[in-house]
Structure 1
Amino acid sequence: MFWHRRRETGADDAPRPLPDDARRLRLRFVGQVQGVGFRWTSMGVARDLGLTGWVRNERDGSVSAEIQGEASHVGAFFSQMLDAYRHHPIRYTVDEREDIPLVEGERDFEVRY
């Protein structure tokens, strides 16, 4: 899984320029998404794909996230999440998925509390 990865410092601290086809999605995951490393796996997948944004647990047991980056990388996020849990199957679905305005100057993908 991805939760053991640490954020590297240095050149990545600069804001990432937005690609021409950039998009940002607001997501809500439901199911078995808390207590299984879901946020940390999401962060690892997003960082591997060069995405920015955030993920956090919600009081109702769901997980919310915003992911931003090149359109193909945003799309790849979902398949890579499935791959990440292939050997440790959990059940979850994307309950909400909405295109939202881009956030200029975002530097990284983070777990929020």
Structure 2
Amino acid sequence: MRDDDNARLTAWVHGQVQGVGFRWWTRRQALELGLSGYAGNLEDGRVEVVAEGPHADLARLLDALRSGNAPGWVDTVVERWSEPKGNHTGFVER
């Protein structure tokens, strides 16, 4: 896949990531990169991040999620790459 090809990244972020501003921080990172999608809390304490846009920018978002600069504490990030669906406008917190 080329860096400018559009893709879809789904990332499940494990750690202390709920109630600490993590979704807001993720939204800010995604909007700065021009990505669309959402960050939402899951019942088991993880945050699910779904983002679409150029592969290179999605990789930058993934690096940011793993950087240690996010609010809270990120233990691990599990990722899945797929074809974009194009069903998001902007980036929202859920």
**TM-score normalized by the length of structure 1:** 0.70
In structure 1, what is the equivalent of residue 76 of structure 2? Answer: 93
Tell me whether 1:38 sits opposite 2:22 in the alignment: yes
2:31 to 42, 47, 53: 47
More off after superposition, 49-58 vs 96-105: 96-105
The letter of the residue matching 1:59 is: E
How many angstroms does 1:20 deviate by?
5.5
**TM-score normalized by the length of structure 2:** 0.82
In structure 1, what is the equivalent of residue 84 of structure 2? Answer: 102
Which blocks of at least 5 consecutive residues in structure 2 are unaligned?
none
- Conservation of the 8 A alpha-carbon contact between 2:68 and 2:74: no
Return the alpha-carbon distance in structure 1 between the equivalents of residues 36 and 53 of structure 2.
7
Tell me whether 1:23 sits opposite 2:22 in the alignment: no
Return the alpha-carbon distance in structure 1 between the equivalents of residues 68 and 16 of structure 2.
16
**Cα deviations across residues 14-41 of structure 1 (Å, max 9, x unaligned)?**
xxxxx95011011111111111111000
- Structure 1 pair 58–89 and aligned structure 2 pair: CA distance change class (3 A): closer
| Higher strand residue share | 2
Instruction: Give the CA RMSD over aligned residues.
Output: 2.1
The letter of the residue matching 2:25 is: T
- Conservation of the 8 A alpha-carbon contact between 1:27 and 1:97: yes
Which blocks of at least 5 consecutive residues in structure 1 are unaligned?
1-18
Displaced runs of 4 or more, over 6 A: none
Greater Cα radius of gyration, structure 1 or 2 = 1
Q: How many residues align?
A: 91
